[in-house]
Amino acid sequence: MASSSREQEAGGFLRSSLPSPPASSVSSPSAARPILLQPRSRPLRSGSSKESDFINHVERKLLAISRRYENRFSATLSEEANPDVEGRGYKNIGEEIRDLDPVVDLIWVSGTPSLQIAFLLTIALTVMTSLPCFPFMPRPTFQLLQKLDLMFASLLKGASAETGELLPGSETGRSKLSTTEKVRMRGIVERTRIAVVEAASKDGSLADVSTVTQSRMTDTEDDFNMTTEDEDMDVVEDESSHRRWEMDIARVYERTIMELGMALDVADPGNDGWAP
């Protein structure tokens, strides 16, 4: 216990071990996967060289991701010509999310609400924009959206959505988001939920599920001699996967929606609608 406490107090930009969230906060097996890293104990000082270096680093990373997204249609040609080119286009949304995920973690660990809010909203918008442009890949998409959901809900509460601990810079337990930022977040959240439904509804959109199924069927020669019972089991597993993804679709940004509803109701009691 003492060791765990020291790791949490250390803060900084190092990964620390955190306890699993309580069972009451986990609504599905997939909800347990995205665990937020321990943020710095204090926000970066405004105007400091550390803050400037951090902003420049994150902006460079996001610019590189944006360039690879813009080059997505030439991904195959670029890779064939020079597979080591860093800026080749993305072939699927999983590659983009793989680049975005460590940037999201870094932003969160900064423990600086003003930077977290601005950069995370930009990344959430990037994910929303990318969804219609690639075949839908449920696993990486839901993992990143669940992580963003936890972060947004935490920022709205001024405390961790997982542990209840106050966030750095939110010692009063109040949100640092302005009403304008909350309205912008609401718009992104709503449009992302629609984009996920539309992407998942496309024929053959569950790309990673079908890939897993195909790889399982071609692992050995014996798989070509599957019995009717084996085939029935595959159908049951695939149907179970589809049901799980459907449940995850319904949970996209669910914590953020709850916190936004309460926050905006307090800010504007006369506004019953969700339209900006």
Burial label for 81, CB within 10 Å (0-12, 13-18, 19+), is exposed
Work out the percent of the chain whose per-residue pLDDT is above 90.
53
**pLDDT digits 0-9 by tens, 37-49:** 999 999 999 999 9
Separation between Cα atoms, residue 8 and residue 26, nearest integer Å: 22
- And the tokens for 228? 């009717």
Instruction: Tell whether the model's pLDDT for residue 149 goes beyond 80.
Output: yes
Average of per-residue pLDDT across 178-194: 95
Pick from 124, 111, 128: nearest CA to 42 = 111
Which pLDDT band, with edges at 50, 70 and 90, does 3 fall under?
very low
Residue 228 reports pLDDT greater than 90:
no
CA–CA dist 257, 272 (Å, integer)? 14
Indicate whether this model's pTM tops 0.85. Answer: no
Most confidently predicted of 134-143, 168-177, 209-218: 134-143
**Which pLDDT belongs to residue 27?**
45
What distances in angstroms separate CA 269 from CA 57, 254, 264, one per listed residue?
Answer: 40, 21, 8
Average pLDDT over residues 196-211: 66
Query: Please, are residues 67 and 87 in contact by the beta-carbon 8 Å criterion?
Result: yes
